[in-house]
Amino acid sequence: MRVRTDHWHLPTRPLLSSLLGVLLVTALAPRPVAGQATPSVSGASAQDPAALVRRIEQLEAQVHALTERLGGSLGGSTLPPVQSASGPAPAKDERGAEDEVQAALHEHEGADGPRMQVRGYADLVYRRGAASAERGFGLGQADAFVTSRLSDRVNVLAEAVFEGSEANELAIDLERILLQFAPSDRLHLSVGRYHTAIGFYNTAYHHGAWFQTATSRPRMFAFEDDGGILPIHNLGISATGQLASGPLGLRYVAEVGNGRAATPGAAPVQNVTDENRGVAVNLGLLARPDWLPGLQAGVSVYRDRLTPGGSRIGETIVAAHAVYQASRLELLNEFLTLRHGVAGAPVRVSTGFYSQAGVRVGRYSPYARIDYLHVNALDPLYGAMGRDTGLAAGLRYDVGSWAAIKGQGERWSRRTGDPAYGFGMQLAFAF
Amino acid sequence: MRTFSPVVRVLAACLLAVAAISVVPSPARAGQEPAPDPLVIVVNRQNPVETLSGADLRRIFLGERLTWPDRRRMTVVMRPPEDPERALLLRLVCRMSEPEYVRHLLQASFVGDASAGPKQLSTAAGVRRFIFNVPGAIGYLRVSEVDDSVKVVRVDNRPPSDAAYPLRGEGR
């Protein structure tokens, strides 16, 4: 279209003044902020006060009716006005959001009684070891982990593990059953069968191989029925909590339980009866300082009296750990001494440590571990175990967020005999 | 040559200025995204807490701290995993990615440290409404999403308007 330039001329003075005035007022008038709904009253003309009053009365009646309905469904609680920060949402989305809030409040109030949460952790392994029992595919552990909130401060935790034996038989073990009471951050009480808080690894990584970086546990934390030397499980009362320590982030652990059985042939975990009158006591102190998130260091002292065959053996386990776990780096270091004292004989001291380092590069986590366990040859309970030194290196690959494939090579040397080599693959997952 | 009165010249200058302001692109129009609102930590209005340290927040959102100083039970409210504000909170407060956070919560539950885990609500209005109704609740919103139904707490004793307020940034 051609522009007719011959009609371009300055308007007369009164017209120009009016035009400029309108433009200035328009330009300088306050604008609604982006995303903020422009106030409007639908269905009523801004020029008609009577219509506006009628509309306000209608809206008040609607608000009153809605308040009564919502108040009834929430046990009389007052609801705030729900405001959309990004303008009016479609009615379907608003209904969905409202349903979501109502469901969350309903669940929070525990109106339906205890609600169980069930998780599963399992692993499958493939091994190539020196012994025939360490070859081929194997079922690791299938862990059914259940928590249930009974009230604001009372929970139940239960864990049952399905596991295969060397005789290829499947068995179910109730690994943990705990009633937990947490009145404050200073005190969490648990009663039942628990994982003894000796060191770090035993409570941080237990059943559920998906959590741990490596395929296997450090030698000194081997399970009781795998020839381990520590009382991994216990039955009794456990208390943990935070201490007023400012940026040090101190926490304590105090446990009193049956301890383990020492009578030859007896099940190591005393689930029903204690073979002696004494109780096992474990006290721990650990720090999680504010200035380095991911760092944890601590010590624990476990004391029990064992009575195998009528003799009396004093058992003391002192463990210390320093671990650092961040997004890209994992450093685990633990050391312990196990002391067994028999009346009239010197105390026999056994020692163990491991040091594990791993880095995380995307989905890959290469790692290495040094493992050492030296059981005193004159130890009254485990003297035949001797000394094991292990070197392991492996790679973990996370397949999505819920599964991992791990490969680990190991070299074990004993005081006597040739070193043993092994290789294992593990598929560990959560569901 | 025709001359104009001073009034006309002033008005014409104003008109030109307005036109120039309308034509010159604003930073947002020029393709520069405006800086997002800071993230704010919100609690129930009855909660007496006024400020929380970064370490406090980390412990709370990781489930390591479960009760308020008045012994009221804490309930953490989170937005869904795909939400940019959630990613920002995890990065600035927990120093974790989403998979690391999920794994941490599972492990905390596994060792018996945390019982229920956070509540998950998908809208800002839902977060506000839940926190309004649950005295021990704590969550996060953008500044522009806050209204009078919730209370904003300072972080490291700094209000969100402070230039050194720590919870600023993009979610992704």
- CATH code assigned at B62: 3.40.190.10
Residue B127 lies in a domain: yes
Residue type, B164: A
Residue with tokens 């120039």: B20
In terms of Cα–Cα distance, which of A325, A297, A302 is closest to A195? A302
Per-residue pLDDT tens over the stretch A261-320 = 877 777 778 887 777 777 999 999 999 999 999 999 999 999 999 888 778 899 999 999
Supply the range of the domain harboring residue B96: 39-155
- Please indicate whether, in this complex, the C-beta atoms of A149 and B67 are within 8 angstroms of each other: no
**pLDDT above 90 (res A429):** yes
**Per-residue pLDDT, A263:** 77
Which of A74, A147, A401 lies at the smallest CB-CB distance from B115?
A147
Residue B84 lies in a domain: yes
pLDDT-based confidence at residue B117 (cuts at 50, 70, 90) = confident
Residue B69 lies in a domain: yes
Which of B73, B107, B133 lies at the smallest CB-CB distance from A105?
B133
Residue B166 lies in a domain: no
∠ CA B149-B155-B157, rounded to 5°: 110
- Within 10 Å of residue B163's Cβ, how many Cβ atoms? 6
**Per-residue pLDDT, A129:** 76
Residue B120 lies in a domain: yes
Which of B11, B102, B112 lies at the smallest CB-CB distance from A180?
B112
Order of strands across the sheet that contains B137-142: B51-52, B151-155, B39-43, B137-142, B75-78, B119-120
Closest Cα in chain B, distance from residue A399 (Å):
11
Residue type, A22: V
The whole-chain average pLDDT of chain A stands at 81
Answer yes or no: are the C-beta atoms of B104 and B96 closer than 8 Å.
yes
- Please indicate whether, in this complex, the C-beta atoms of B95 and A185 are within 8 angstroms of each other: no
Residue with tokens 């009834």: A72
- Chain B residues in contact with A401 (beta carbon < 8 A): 99, 102-103
Residue B74 lies in a domain: yes
In terms of Cα–Cα distance, which of A1, A428, A430, A2 is closest to A215? A428
User: Please, which residues 79-108 of chain B have a Cβ atom closer than 8 Å to chain A?
Assistant: 95-97, 99-100, 102-103, 106-107
Does B10 contact A at CB distance below 8 Å?
no
Distance CA B84, CA B41 (A): 15
ipTM given for this complex: 0.74
DSSP B94: I
Q: How far is CA B7 from CA A14, A221, B1, B11, B17, in A?
A: 12, 92, 18, 6, 15
pLDDT-based confidence at residue A212 (cuts at 50, 70, 90) = very high
DSSP B37: P
Section B141-165 average pLDDT: 94
Beta bridge partners of A340: A315, A348
Q: How many residues does chain B have?
A: 172
Residue B147 lies in a domain: yes
Residue B28 lies in a domain: no
Domains of chain A: 179-430 (2.40.160.10)
Residue with tokens 């005295």: B135
- Chain B residues in contact with A187 (beta carbon < 8 A): none
Long-range contacts of B100-109 (CB under 8 A, 24+ apart): B100/A327, B102/A401, B103/A211, B103/A401, B104/B62, B105/B62, B105/B63, B106/A119, B106/A211, B106/A430, B107/A204, B107/A211, B108/B62, B108/B63, B108/B64, B109/A117, B109/A119, B109/A147
The answer, as to whether pTM is greater than 0.90, is no
Residues 6+ apart with CB under 8 A from A242: A185, A186, A249, A250, A251, B65
Distance CA A111, CA A113 (A): 6
Lowest mean pLDDT, pick from A184-193, A250-259, A275-284, A333-342: A275-284
Domains: count for chain B: 1
Per-residue pLDDT tens over the stretch A151-172 = 888 999 999 999 887 788 888 9
- Chain A residues in contact with B110 (beta carbon < 8 A): 119, 145, 206, 208, 211
**Per-residue pLDDT, A326:** 92
- Please indicate whether, in this complex, the C-beta atoms of B11 and A211 are within 8 angstroms of each other: no
User: In this structure, what token pair is assigned to residue A146?
Assistant: 């259940």
Per-residue pLDDT tens over the stretch A17-39 = 444 444 444 444 444 333 333 33
Does B143 contact A at CB distance below 8 Å?
no
DSSP string, A356-395: EEEE-BTTEEEEEEEEEEE--TT-TTTGGG-EEEEEEEEE
Which of B22, B111, B145 lies at the smallest CB-CB distance from A85?
B145
Tell how far CA A360 is from the center of its chain.
19
